[in-house]
């Protein structure tokens, strides 16, 4: 949702995680969609390798417009 280019939101400096989370959480769309946000402070490993087969198994639906960056990832079917 953010890039390093965007260091202010509505003229408010984004100086901490708290400010960013609160700014996201208080945003609404013109149709009234409410956005929920929370900080994920977990640590995740770097450099994890994903095989071509694992990548093919991702349930990804790419949008017609710029599908390389607009897409939905859905859970895999968990039926036995």
If you count them, how many residues does the chain have?
A: 80
Q: How far apart are CA 18 and CA 38, in angstroms?
A: 9
pLDDT by residue for the chain (80 residues), tens digit each? 455 546 776 677 778 888 888 888 777 788 888 878 888 999 999 999 999 999 999 999 999 999 999 999 999 877 66
Q: CB of 27 within 8 A of CB of 35?
A: yes
Per-domain boundaries in the chain:
8-40+50-74
> What is the value of pTM for the model shown?
0.44
């Amino acid at each position: 949702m953010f890039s390093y280019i965007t260091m202010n939101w509505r003229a408010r400096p984004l100086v901490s995680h708290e400010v960013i989370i609160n700014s996201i959480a208080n945003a609404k769309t013109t149709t009234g969609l409410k956005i929920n946000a929370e900080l994920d402070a977990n640590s995740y490993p770097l450099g994890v390798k994903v095989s071509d087969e694992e990548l093919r198994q991702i349930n990804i639906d790419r949008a017609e417009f710029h599908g390389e960056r607009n897409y939905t990832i859905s859970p895999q079917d968990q039926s036995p």
